[in-house]
């Protein structure tokens, strides 16, 4: 969000300078001059930058935007270090910065991997999977997901080993090798893999996760979505901080375009 604001400011400043030069400044420089007077540096820079910034700003705001995956909460679908592309018009065209829909096109579907503004702090972008749609009745207990009374089956694939970053007593990060179970899950039309660990889940009092552990069934409010990470036991998601409102949607993730450490992941579609 901060980068979008920065781009908008630069776009407006360079555009105003360029327009002001066309309407006023150029005529003042040429008045009484014998020959062509060169443009000042600030006009030259504005003329050069404005078209480029306008193009980039338009593409990022309405068509596609790149993101980098910062953590392992979406493993095994997405890995930390993946650079992905997000479709910005799947869920409707939105006013830049304000994020209000001005041209509706579609809604998130169950199983989508979507990017959104983190509800407790909208300046941060998060990525999770859409699990619950408005009106859905959700249960998640003993690591078993139930949607509208239907138990979502999990089919075991294989053990999954990876390095988990944890903080020691001194607050220093260190890598610990852990083993999870990799399982296949079907959400709507999307079949994908999730990770389940043999650990007890813990949630803050009153959180959705805590209410699930008490056996409660949660109804997703209208205009909001229930999101979970594919790394089910290592994800800060709706179980921790609540639902994702329509106003916080950014777009649908669809493509991995780069990974410095694992080149074979380049070109993979996200589903």
Which residues form the catalytic set?
Answer: 73, 128
Say how far apart CA 129 and CA 193 lie, in whole Å: 11
Backbone angles phi, psi at 241, to 5 degrees: -120, 5
Beta bridge partner(s), residue 175: 165
Written as one string, the DSSP assignment of the chain is -HHHHHHHHHHHHHHHHHHHIIIIIHHHHHTT-SSPPPPPHHHHHHHHHHHHHHHHHHHHHHTEEEEE--SSTTTTTS-TT-EEEEESSTT-EE-TTT--EEE------TT-EEEEE-TT-TTSEEEEEEEE-TT-EEEEETTEEEETTEE--EEEEEEEEEEEEEE-TTS-EEEEEEEEEEEEEEETTEEEEEEE-SS-----TTSHHHHHHTT--EEPPTTEEEEE-SBTTS--SHHHH-PEEGGGEEEEEEEEEE-SS-GGGTTPBP-
- 8-state DSSP, 231: B
Say how far apart CA 233 and CA 209 lie, in whole Å: 11
């Amino acid at each position: 969000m901060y980068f979008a604001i920065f781009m908008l400011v630069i776009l407006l400043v360079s555009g105003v300078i360029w327009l002001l030069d066309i309407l006023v400044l150029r005529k003042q420089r040429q008045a009484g001059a014998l020959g062509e007077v060169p443009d000042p540096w600030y006009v030259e820079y504005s003329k050069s930058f404005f078209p480029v910034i306008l193009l980039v700003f338009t593409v990022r705001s309405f068509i596609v935007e790149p993101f980098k995956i910062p953590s392992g909460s979406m493993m095994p679908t997405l890995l930390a270090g993946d650079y992905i592309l997000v479709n910005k018009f799947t869920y409707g065209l939105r006013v830049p910065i304000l994020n209000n829909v001005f041209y509706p096109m579609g809604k998130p579907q169950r199983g989508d991997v979507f990017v959104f503004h983190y509800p407790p702090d909208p300046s941060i972008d998060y990525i999770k999977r859409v699990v619950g749609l408005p009106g859905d009745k959700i249960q998640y207990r003993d690591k078993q997901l139930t949607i509208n009374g239907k138990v979502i089956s999990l089919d075991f694939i294989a053990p999954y080993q990876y390095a988990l970053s944890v903080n020691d007593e001194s607050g220093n990060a260190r890598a610990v090798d852990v083993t999870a179970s990799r399982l296949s899950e079907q959400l709507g039309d999307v079949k994908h893999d999730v990770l389940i660990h043999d650990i007890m889940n813990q949630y803050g009092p009153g959180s959705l996760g805590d209410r699930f552990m008490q056996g409660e069934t949660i109804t997703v409010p209208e205009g909001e979505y229930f999101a979970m990470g594919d790394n089910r036991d290592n994800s800060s998601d709706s179980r921790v901080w609540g639902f994702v409102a329509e106003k916080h949607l950014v777009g649908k993730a669809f493509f991995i375009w780069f990974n410095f450490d694992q080149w074979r992941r380049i070109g993979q579609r996200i589903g």
